[in-house]
Every structure is written in C-alpha cells, then in structure tokens.
Copies of this chain bind each other. A is one copy, B any other.
Amino acid sequence: MKLYYATGTCALASHIALEEAGAQYSTVKLNFATREQYSPEYLAINPKGRVPALVTDRGILTETPAMLAYIAQRFPKARLAPVDDPFGFAEVQAFNSYLCSTVHVAHAHRMRGTRWVDDPTAIEALKRKVPETVGACFELIENKMIRGPWVMGDTYTICDPYLFTIANWMESDSVDPARFAKVKAHRDRMAERPAVRKVLAAEKG
C-alpha cells in the first residue's frame, strides 16, 4: 500500500493507523506549498486534490474515516476497531464522522475560508470565530464523548490517532488545551506510543 500525505494534515491519522496495524506500506509526501496536490499526476490519484489517499491492491481510497475503517477491517489482528460488532463499530465511526464533518470543518475555516467565500473581509470574519467553534467541539468531546484512557475506553481504536491528529491543531486555532484535561491527557498518552513517535519522525524527515 502507498499513502499520500502532507505534513500537518489529517493524513497523520491514517499514517499512525497503518503503523499500529503493522501494515506493509510506503509513503509519498506532497508539498502543499508548491500546490503539488493539484498536479495532474496527483489529481489522477485523487481528483479532490486533497490528502490522504491510499493506493491498495484493489484501488484507491480517500476520506480519513473510510481509510481508518479499512485499516481496522483489513488488519483484524491489530484490533483497531470492533469490526464484527455493528453497534461497537458504529460508535467508533460516529466519533470519527464527528471529527471529520464538524471538528475538522470548524478548524478549516481559519486557513481555508476561500473554500466557502470570496470576499476578503468575510474570510477574516470566518477566522475570528474559529477559537469559539473549535473550542465548543472540544468541550463536547471532553464532556460527552471521550471515555478515557482511550476514546472508546480501555481499548485503543482508530478513534485515537484521529483525535490525536486534530487535537494537535488546538494551539494554532487559539484554543487552550488546558481547558480540556481528558483530551490533553489523551494527547500526551498518544505522543508516547512507539508507532506515533515513529510516524511523527518519518513525517518530519
């Protein structure tokens, strides 16, 4: 398998999951500064011009929640999700879907306002609300969603690398992690995992 990623993006979640699963994979780093994600070569892989994308022996996958579920289901021995328990698997997917469609989207209004508006003053107005909207998401995660020590409780799942990835953006969104004790402790716990250290070092290198 081949993972296309860029540093500082949500592709980190799938990168960590592949490592935790013990998968055989290689990586290709795209340079967003030179708009490499819009090159004809990459658009042939992912016409959305986004990361991550995962090339498999069956075809190409995109969208973080789908890729994480794929990794969990493809490497069942790693036990990254209760894939044979419809309710348990759905709880995992509901958490990841919230990260993807609400938390990531709230965050994206700081740097990617041009996706949704043209007017420069409106783009600035979008940026101003990000600390409030991202903060509200983490309040909900802290108070209603994270069970601890891992997202789903005692068992590490594909929710954990995804939360870790997005929780790492808090400071850049002017949200103080000290407000969210459980999320902060989760982030620290994640940073100690060998797979996470290895992947962070690889993405920096």
Residues of A51-97 contacting chain B, CB below 8 A: 56, 58-59, 61-67, 69-70, 73-74, 86-87, 89-91, 93-94, 96-97
Residues A144 and B47 in contact in the complex (CB < 8 Å), given A66-B97, A129-B118: yes
Is residue A24 within 8 Å, beta carbon to beta carbon, of the partner chain?
A: no
Is residue A2 within 8 Å, beta carbon to beta carbon, of the partner chain?
A: no
Is residue A140 within 8 Å, beta carbon to beta carbon, of the partner chain?
A: yes
Most B CB within 10 A of own CB, among A47, A90, A133: A90
Interface residues of chain A: helix, strand, loop or mixed (majority): helix
Docked pose: A133 CA to B117 CA in angstroms: 9
Q: State how many angstroms separate the Cβ of A175 from the closest Cβ of chain B.
A: 15
Is residue A105 within 8 Å, beta carbon to beta carbon, of the partner chain?
A: yes
**Pair B133/A122 contact, Cβ less than 8 Å:** no
Docked pose: A97 CA to B87 CA in angstroms: 18
Say which size band chain A's interface belongs to: 35 or more
Docked pose: A101 CA to B10 CA in angstroms: 13
Residues A90 and B61 in contact in the complex (CB < 8 Å), given A100-B97, A101-B104, A126-B122: yes
The contact of A122 among B56, B65, B121, by CB within 8 Å, is B121
Q: For residue A100, which residues in chain B have a CB less than 8 angstroms away from its CB?
A: 97, 100-101
Is residue A186 within 8 Å, beta carbon to beta carbon, of the partner chain?
A: no
Most B CB within 10 A of own CB, among A64, A105, A117: A117
CB nearest to A92 among chain B residues:
B66
Docked pose: A89 CA to B56 CA in angstroms: 14
Q: What would 13 more interface pairs be, CB under 8 Å, given A66-B97, A117-B129?
A: A63-B94, A64-B97, A66-B93, A67-B90, A74-B87, A97-B97, A97-B100, A100-B100, A117-B125, A119-B121, A119-B125, A122-B122, A122-B125
